[in-house]
Structure 1
Amino acid sequence: MTTAIYASVLPFETRVAVREDDRLVELHVEREKERSIVGNLYKGRVSRVLPGMQAAFVDVGLERDAFLYVDDVGEALEEEDVDLQEVRAQTPIQDLLRPGQEILVQITRELGPSKGPRASSHITLPGRFLVFIPGSSHVGVSRRITDQKERERLRALLGELPKPGGVIVRTAGEGRSLADFEQDLAFLQATWEHIRQRWDTTAAPALLYSELDLLLRVARDVARDNVREFWVDDPGAFRRVVEFFQRVQPELVSTVKLYTRTTPMFFAFGLEEEISKALSPWVDLPSGGSLVIEQTEALVVIDVNTGRYAKGQDLEETVFHINLEAAREIPRQLRLRNLGGIVVVDFIDMEDPEHRNALLEAFRKELARDRARTLLGPVGPFGLVQLTRKRTSASLWKTLTTPCPFCQGLGRIKSPETVALDIYRLVLDRAQELGARVFAVRAHPEVVKLLKGDLAPLLQTLEQGYGLRVELAPGSDPHPAHFELIPKA
């Protein structure tokens, strides 16, 4: 598998696209006013302790307090799929924290405009090849490194490192040397010492350490030995990436290329069209089938359809083929759209147990390529497949769009027929209440056209059956469902 990275840097926005084997699999967007705070370390002050929830709210200087569970440790290691085996014994939150107490916390999730961020008191500092865990003695290797000999080699190398804290070998550490780990650990130790010094000299609440910006996070977490090219369209950003690789992985410096053409880079590489498709709920599959992806606050639902696929004579084989295509495409869409939380997939029903098992195995294999942690469940009693995907930031959909001013996020608005009937009923109600006999109605042109055309009998009924007259006129409000009803006499 080869990877290509494209970073487009503007004064107020940075976009980074990642292609694997020429297929767009990730798109990261960071805007200056909406920069991610995940990974940031704060000197906070406990504002409230909630024994009933075994949680606390911590003032970290943001608009909303951070939420901290008593057992909220190890969150930042989920990306590397590592289980911490040394978790402190359960102690009631009221015995650990008190209002006004100062505490060092790290943001692990951004939960949206209506909720505060999620925080952890278990601090982790990710480097290029290692995760450093201050105050811990844990030593481990990412479970994504599956070769047993390599795991043993890495554990032996970790045994040669100084032990100022816990360390975990990240996935990118596979195949690296002792010198690589020593350099990475020295940098992380220096970073931690700087944070400790700031703790001693800074009043709470305050930001002590800010995670790398998007450009360098991708350089650190995504760029591996399989990177074919790393395009950057801004000279200053280009130099930052080169300097970063010179410090942490010099062999990748040659992959960094400065884009200088006048055509915007994302247009030149065909990325803008792919991004537009990623905002659509419909996804075409190669053989003519399709996916429908619906995002809600509670969960993500993905439906698999046969579409126009018509190859073969056997229905079971046809369904199996389309489901396999969906199993390969859905993980890509989850990564590309940055969908997290609970995901429910409605594959097309299959009778053959071997086909169902093969489908789940193919699905699991594709999900394993995701850097975000995913947990796949069995097929449910109604044929649905459920999984969870770690969510740390807003989805692409929420990042690039805003709720529709007409439907307020519902996705649907009243039809012109419904609005016309609403007008009919409201005229009758207001006539009874106010005693008026003539009403001026200003509505959307489509509604006016309908009331003068196919639904004109409604106005005739008002006039002939109730003695009421309605004067229609197009309104100035662009909302298709809004209208104004004014009694005249």
Structure 2
Amino acid sequence: MGAKMLVESDPYETRIALLEEDRLTEYFLERRHQRGVVGNVYKGRVTRVLPGMQAAFVDIGLERDAFLYVADVLPALPPGEEGDLDAADLLEGDAGNPSIDTLLRAGQELLVQVTKDPLANKGARVTTHVTLPGRFLVLLPTVRHLGVSRRIEDETERARLRARLEELPAEGGGLIVRTAGQGRDAADFAADHAWLSSAWRRIRDGAALVSAPALVHQDLDLALRVVRDRFSADFTVLWVAGEETYSRIVEFLDQVQPALVSRVKLDREERALLERFDVDRSIEAALKPKVWLPSGGYLVINPTEALVAIDVNTGRYVGRSNLEETALATNLEAVVEVVRQIRLRDLGGIVVIDFIDMMERGHREEVFAALERELTKDHAKHKVLAISEFGLVELTRERSRTNLERQLTTACPYCQGVGRIPSPATVSLRVRRAVLRLAAAAPARELLVRCHPEVARALRDSERGILVELERELGARVLLQEDAETHQASFDILEV
């Protein structure tokens, strides 16, 4: 059936869906007033240097100062050093780094690029090592490095690609062949290199003309960025709703990958594109903690501040033979859905998967191998640890943008994001204690408790003994007034 890319754009937002076998696997959203800043290049000013954290804060003109780690300030690699790193690897340092205060000082101006959007109460993360991605190459203006994407595994092809890199003009920087560069010829690389080099010259010259903080280069908008990074021969079609966006995508592809232009189709149907492919319903399901598996098993996904916990359960599935085989079958089925949900929800940081316990080591290894295979579909950088004897798998996944839940939802004002509220029985007992305190301070003949209808119902039914006790001990009437506008955990006590 092949993969499909759907792009739907209007004056308020751009939405992009990636479908595999007509199932939603990834979703990208950019609203006009919430456009991300990853990839943007700024001329910033250092506001604070923190040797204890080996980091500095840089004013780049956003609401919060950006965070700059020492590894992102280090000088470029020595001339001629090569390797198989990808762009992200070049931003990671080691324990031998010099102190940050020997590299930066407060008030210093420098050119930085955003590598992570601001998240929650954290500012953006930036690096001084700018990376400019093209269709087939990544230009590294500050790093002397030639490399090939780790996703290209054939050694003969890797050697050929590295030879092509060495043929390109040396301008003091570095280059990495992207996965899309596999099988490409010298002309493709030369055109990509010329385009990227021109972009870097514009950035460098523009930075010299402005004072910090200032935006020097804005990355492509979401539609062109996803098309650049993800659209390939693996996709059978790219449907676009909106003539302006369609024209821009065709024009862009004509420059960077003309062979794929014929796969771009303008959607003219009256019914909304993403609605036709059932994307909206899939998104609604992805915001819920429980995900059903075809066999009757299910996943429970719980994101927390520290990590994301994913629990696998057999549910209604009872299997056909024994418990061990049932656990294996459910876990293998869960692997596919777990990875799909990680990609769709864009879950990052530490993820812990609690598979159903399996006694046989071979079964645990089979599930782990299936998980590793499925994770090859994920474009985000990740690291996974072997499955434990208890069925736990820990993995880390790169977090570079706001995840689906944070993009589409806000904390519930009723429960403050906890997801649970005090039960009517709990609130009824709080009412009892509050009435006793009030009566001890100022005895009254009649008290009115204004509370949520569910609490009032409990006080008249399951907790009715509370009112009987209060009236007997205090010698006063205790009246109830239902108020649907009152929070279930709140109440007022008035003297009448």
Kindly report which structure 2 residues correspond to 1:94-109, keeping only aligned pairs within 5 A, or say none.
94-109=101-116
> Which one-letter code corresponds to 1:433 in the other structure?
A
Structure 1's 338 and 85: CA in aligned 2 closer, same or farther, altered over 3 A? closer
Task: For residue 435 of structure 1, report the CA deviation from its aligned partner.
Answer: 3.1
The residue that corresponds to 1:178 in the other structure is 186
Task: Find out whether 1:368 has 2:376 as its counterpart.
Answer: yes
The residue that corresponds to 1:29 in the other structure is 29
The residue that corresponds to 2:324 in the other structure is 316
> Which one-letter code corresponds to 2:42 in the other structure?
Y
Kindly report which structure 2 residues correspond to 1:26-425, keeping only aligned pairs within 5 A, or say none.
26-72=26-72, 80=86, 83-84=89-90, 90-164=97-171, 165-380=173-388, 382-425=390-433
- Contact 2:456 / 2:480 at 8 angstroms: preserved in 1? yes
Count, aligned residues: 486
Which shifted more, 28-37 or 465-474?
465-474
Separation in structure 2 between the aligned mates of residue 429 and residue 444 of structure 1, nearest angstrom: 21
The residue that corresponds to 2:17 in the other structure is 17
TM-score (ref. length: structure 1):
0.95
Q: Secondary structure at the match of 2:492?
A: strand
Q: Secondary structure at the match of 1:379?
A: coil
Separation in structure 1 between the aligned mates of residue 113 and residue 352 of structure 2, nearest angstrom: 30
> Which one-letter code corresponds to 2:468 in the other structure?
Q
Separation in structure 2 between the aligned mates of residue 234 and residue 43 of structure 1, nearest angstrom: 35
Q: Secondary structure at the match of 1:201?
A: coil
Separation in structure 1 between the aligned mates of residue 322 and residue 387 of structure 2, nearest angstrom: 23
Task: For residue 466 of structure 1, report the CA deviation from its aligned partner.
Answer: 2.3
- Contact 1:475 / 1:483 at 8 angstroms: preserved in 2? no
Q: Deviations over 1:183-202 (max 9, x none)?
A: 11111111111111111101
- Contact 2:87 / 2:176 at 8 angstroms: preserved in 1? no
Q: Secondary structure at the match of 1:310?
A: coil
Q: Secondary structure at the match of 1:52?
A: helix
Separation in structure 1 between the aligned mates of residue 85 and residue 378 of structure 2, nearest angstrom: 9
CA RMSD in angstroms, aligned pairs only: 2.0
Name structure 2 gaps, 5 residues minimum.
75-82
Separation in structure 2 between the aligned mates of residue 348 and residue 274 of structure 1, nearest angstrom: 26
The residue that corresponds to 1:428 in the other structure is 436
Q: Secondary structure at the match of 1:321?
A: helix
- Contact 1:43 / 1:206 at 8 angstroms: preserved in 2? yes
Separation in structure 1 between the aligned mates of residue 86 and residue 4 of structure 2, nearest angstrom: 22
Separation in structure 2 between the aligned mates of residue 362 and residue 476 of structure 1, nearest angstrom: 51
Name structure 1 gaps, 5 residues minimum.
none
Structure 1's 78 and 139: CA in aligned 2 closer, same or farther, altered over 3 A? closer
- Contact 2:115 / 2:400 at 8 angstroms: preserved in 1? yes
> Which one-letter code corresponds to 2:150 in the other structure?
R
- Contact 1:66 / 1:119 at 8 angstroms: preserved in 2? yes
Separation in structure 2 between the aligned mates of residue 38 and residue 81 of structure 1, nearest angstrom: 14
Separation in structure 1 between the aligned mates of residue 38 and residue 88 of structure 2, nearest angstrom: 19
Which shifted more, 144-153 or 298-307?
144-153
Q: Deviations over 1:116-160 (max 9, x none)?
A: 111111111111111100022200000011111211111111111
Structure 1's 204 and 233: CA in aligned 2 closer, same or farther, altered over 3 A? same
Task: For residue 23 of structure 1, report the CA deviation from its aligned partner.
Answer: 2.1
TM-score (ref. length: structure 2):
0.94
> Which one-letter code corresponds to 1:460 in the other structure?
V
Structure 1's 270 and 476: CA in aligned 2 closer, same or farther, altered over 3 A? closer
- Contact 2:67 / 2:125 at 8 angstroms: preserved in 1? yes
Q: Secondary structure at the match of 1:260?
A: coil
Task: For residue 85 of structure 1, report the CA deviation from its aligned partner.
Answer: 11
Structure 1's 220 and 439: CA in aligned 2 closer, same or farther, altered over 3 A? same
Separation in structure 1 between the aligned mates of residue 363 and residue 222 of structure 2, nearest angstrom: 41
Task: For residue 161 of structure 1, report the CA deviation from its aligned partner.
Answer: 0.8
Q: Secondary structure at the match of 1:215?
A: helix
Q: Secondary structure at the match of 1:108?
A: strand
Q: Deviations over 1:326-378 (max 9, x none)?
A: 11211111000000000001011111111111111111111111000010012
Identical-pair percentage: 50
> Which one-letter code corresponds to 2:300 in the other structure?
V
- Contact 1:232 / 1:258 at 8 angstroms: preserved in 2? yes
- Contact 1:304 / 1:346 at 8 angstroms: preserved in 2? yes
The residue that corresponds to 2:78 in the other structure is none
> Which one-letter code corresponds to 1:233 in the other structure?
A
Separation in structure 2 between the aligned mates of residue 382 and residue 349 of structure 1, nearest angstrom: 6
Q: Deviations over 1:162-205 (max 9, x none)?
A: 12220000111111111111111111111111111111101100
* Structure 1 residue corresponding to 2:473, chosen from 451, 465, 472: 465
Structure 1's 310 and 381: CA in aligned 2 closer, same or farther, altered over 3 A? closer
